Structure 1
Amino acid sequence: MKEKISDKKWFIYALVPLCALCWGFSYLGITVTLKSLEPIQLLAMRWTVSALIFLILAACRIIKVQYKGKDIKLVLTVGILQPCIYSIFETVGVKLTTTSESSIFIATIPLMVLIIGSLILHKKNSRRTILAIVMAFAGVVICVAFSPNFSLGGKGLGYLILFCAVLTGAFYTYTSSKAAEQFDAIEVTFSIAVMGGIFFNCVSFAMGYGFSGYRACLTDMKLLAGVLFLGICCSSLCYLIFNFVLGKLPTAIATNLVTNSTTAVGVISGCAFAGDPFGWYTVAGVALTITGVCLSSLGNKELADSSPVAGDEVNTDKMKAK
């Protein structure tokens, strides 16, 4: 049987830079929009945009969403973890610490995925994959720790909340990968978009913001553009790609590819467009991160060639499910 293009490894890896590009530039989009909106307003609006996109596509039958005969608890769990719980931990954690500290914490998600997979889920990873994740994380640390703006002035509560964000993000990747055994990427992303839109709007209204954020977009085109970029590209396209990649590659490798590629793009875009400091640490850190990301793809091949058990965990699990 002829292999679908969506199953080809080159196609999967080609999607990662697109996801990293959008998510990497999301830092700029968030910076611009938060000048006019509160964090919960922004979350409500960007996920409303994402939810409307998927609802319209489903209503027009451009995409198909079928839950009959499937374990709906899986996608509900995915949606609760991300965006509902994770986004709150991340937003509050960033507010209570510095940007530098939060960047380092979020960059540890691939490491947490590796730790949870090895200790709790007994997943096997090649030494090359482990080295790749450590290298990518080390690159992020160099970029941030040697920057003139780096500081360690955050509070203990902020660190604890960011750790909860990392833990939630790691469990999300595994839950999404598990959901991929029954649901395709569109169904998973549709679910989290709708859940995110409902949840954050309820919280926003409960906090008394009402429609003030939506009204602000009607008079500020720059704000509207930022919200649309975050809603369309980051909350819709990127999550669709990420959920797709999680369904095709081992979880630790998929997370390393996307998360650290995004961090590298974020650092470069910050230096180029936001006036962030640039120096040897930027070049060295980004180079180390990109090297780690590249090693991940090689680690995936090594893992697949070593044994059926240690190979593509997602495809193996799907075969067992059948």
Structure 2
Amino acid sequence: MNSKKILGSILLSLAACIWGGMFVVVKIIVEEIHPIQLVFLRYLVAIVFLILFSIIKKEKWHWNTKDFRLIVWIGIIGNAVSIVAQETGTWLSSAQTGSVITSATPTFMVIFAWLILKEKLTRVKIISVVMATIGVMMIVGIHLTGKHVLEGVLSLVGAAFTWALMSVLVKKVKTYSSLQITIMSTCVAIICLLPFSLNNTTALLKINFFEPKIIFCLLYLGAISTALAFVMWNQGLTMVEASSSGLFFLLQPVIGTLLGWLLLNEDISIGFILGTLLILGSVWVSVKFAD
């Protein structure tokens, strides 16, 4: 395994772990802030940190029409539609259900990588996805209870589908850095969500932005889960095959389930350890034997 793949694997793993904690944070705050407005606010926080980082890093900007069009689609599909669908689904279900349903992402990524990037659909990739999916099921199971659970599940499936498509499209951007991709796609998402967020200004004005819980949640979602994790994920995608990189997304249920158990009193299954080992094993198999 070369150093580039190792670094890419680390970046993808860290991003996935951060997003695992995001499910819990969203579950805590989404009762007070509507999902669409929550995504809009997290992007406003994120763009501040992203631009500051770009200035510190002294990024050199340029114009490439083809790549810019791709980034617009990345912002609409991944940053806007996928994240709103994910947080809406988590709102209507639970942090654990959010983790397990979005575990469909690697499967979609393998398919999109095959269709769009012409990556080979190898036996190793298929085995890895199957191992990881079984692992997720063992960790959290499927607890479809609740008044709006069906809407939540459908929303989460849509989130997994669109996130997978976005991640594959990132691989097609050739002339912009991962930080630049993140900044531009975040700006696209802000523009897309602006009219929907301002449609209910009363709800926005009722938010107590000085409340410690809201400050912490917005900082985590904006600075860490969006600004930091998105850059790490986009950078990692450039170092690891798209079809293999999707498996790192499945580290989310491990962290999401553990934190849901610790902080939200959500039940944890007895298959947690075995499921975690299967997920980690699937990632190792994919990275080690994919070439």
Structures share a fold, TM > 0.5?
yes
Q: After alignment, is 87-96 or 40-49 more displaced?
A: 87-96
Alignment match, 2:285: 295
The 1:99/1:10 distance shift into structure 2, 3 A limit, reads closer
Q: Indicate which of 246, 269, 272 corresponds to 1:255.
A: 246
Quick check: 1:79 aligned with 2:79? Answer: no
Alignment match, 1:203: 196
Alignment match, 1:185: 178
Alignment match, 2:232: 241
How far 1:62 moved relative to its partner?
3.2
Q: Give, in whole Å, the separation in 1 of the partners of 2:53 and 2:169.
A: 25
Q: SS of 2:201's equivalent?
A: coil
The 1:62/1:68 distance shift into structure 2, 3 A limit, reads same
Q: Give, in whole Å, the separation in 2 of the partners of 1:237 and 1:157.
A: 30
Q: Give, in whole Å, the separation in 2 of the partners of 1:299 and 1:125.
A: 13
Q: Give, in whole Å, the separation in 1 of the partners of 2:34 and 2:85.
A: 15
Quick check: 1:67 aligned with 2:57? Answer: no
Deviations 1:113-150 (A, max 9, x none): 1123335654203322221111111111122227xxx2
Q: Give, in whole Å, the separation in 1 of the partners of 2:121 and 2:172.
A: 18
Alignment match, 1:107: 103
Alignment match, 2:261: 271
How far 1:20 moved relative to its partner?
2.6
Alignment match, 2:4: 8
Deviations 1:144-196 (A, max 9, x none): 227xxx236666655544433222122111111111x2211011111122222
Quick check: 1:169 aligned with 2:163? Answer: yes
Alignment match, 2:276: 286
The 1:298/1:73 distance shift into structure 2, 3 A limit, reads same
Q: SS of 1:217's equivalent?
A: coil
Q: TM-score, normalised by structure 1?
A: 0.80
Deviations 1:268-308 (A, max 9, x none): 222233322234222222221121122221133xx2xxxxx
8 Å contact from structure 2 (residues 35, 84) kept in 1: no
Alignment match, 1:230: 221
Q: After alignment, is 91-100 or 228-237 more displaced?
A: 91-100
Larger radius of gyration: 1
Alignment match, 2:84: 88
Equivalent residue letter for 1:110:
P
How far 1:93 moved relative to its partner?
3.7
Alignment match, 1:318: none
Q: SS of 1:91's equivalent?
A: helix
The 1:95/1:23 distance shift into structure 2, 3 A limit, reads closer
Q: SS of 1:280's equivalent?
A: coil
Q: Give, in whole Å, the separation in 2 of the partners of 1:201 and 1:69.
A: 26
How far 1:35 moved relative to its partner?
3.5
Equivalent residue letter for 2:9:
Y
8 Å contact from structure 1 (residues 217, 224) kept in 2: yes
Q: Indicate which of 208, 213, 219 corresponds to 1:216.
A: 208
Q: Give, in whole Å, the separation in 1 of the partners of 2:95 and 2:17.
A: 20
8 Å contact from structure 2 (residues 105, 160) kept in 1: yes
How many residues align? The count is 288
How far 1:61 moved relative to its partner?
5.3
How far 1:267 moved relative to its partner?
1.7
Q: Give, in whole Å, the separation in 2 of the partners of 1:265 and 1:296.
A: 21
8 Å contact from structure 1 (residues 48, 196) kept in 2: no
How far 1:96 moved relative to its partner?
5.0
Q: SS of 2:275's equivalent?
A: helix
8 Å contact from structure 1 (residues 32, 223) kept in 2: no
Q: SS of 2:267's equivalent?
A: coil
Structure 1 portions without partners, runs of 5+: 304-322
Q: Percent sequence identity over matched residues?
A: 20
The Cα RMSD (Å) is: 2.6
